[in-house]
Structure 1
């Protein structure tokens, strides 16, 4: 597993990640979500809803990982949408994503 997914797992264990589409969309609405992970193999309707919401709210969106990779990193089954709620984790995750590690 790469460093970005390892850090995502750490953020999850620290309670700084929201799991699931409804909770993430609610967190975006409340402005508590700072970064969103969307599984690359998510359904088209889910992709459209998440992309539209993150675009209108100017929230970074990462679509580099599959459902399996996101699920494995968070230790939960069938994770398609994840919302990171901590600014520190957001910055480091984006930094690692840009480096491609």
Structure 2
């Protein structure tokens, strides 16, 4: 596990990660500070998330490897929303690892 995955796991344990259908609501309400998607997410879902995040001004980040989210939070998810600015900033720091 690298520090990116560790930060995701810590955010999950802190209750600052939203997944599943709740991602869309967190984006719409601007509770999401950052949306993280796995590298192997489907193209339709990627486009929908990109469009929604662009409309609401929320940054979207592609995880460095496939299954990064699953390894970090222990759930088979392809996308999550980070609802805390501190965790979002920490994840931006690891971009490209």
Structure-2-length-normalised TM-score:
0.91
Partners of 1:54 and 1:60 within 8 A in 2: yes
Inter-partner Cα distance in structure 2 for 1:65 and 1:93: 11
How far the C-alpha of 1:39 sits from its partner, in A, is 1.3
Aligned residues: 97
Inter-partner Cα distance in structure 1 for 2:63 and 2:79: 12
* Cα offsets for 1:72-98 (capped at 9, x unmatched): 10011x21110000011111111122x
- State the superposition RMSD in angstroms: 1.3
Inter-partner Cα distance in structure 2 for 1:64 and 1:39: 5
How far the C-alpha of 1:64 sits from its partner, in A, is 2.8
**Equivalent residue number for residue 10 of structure 2:** 10
Consecutive unaligned residues of structure 2, counting only runs of 5 or more, are: none
**Equivalent residue number for residue 91 of structure 2:** 93
Consecutive unaligned residues of structure 1, counting only runs of 5 or more, are: none
Inter-partner Cα distance in structure 1 for 2:37 and 2:94: 16
Partners of 1:67 and 1:79 within 8 A in 2: no
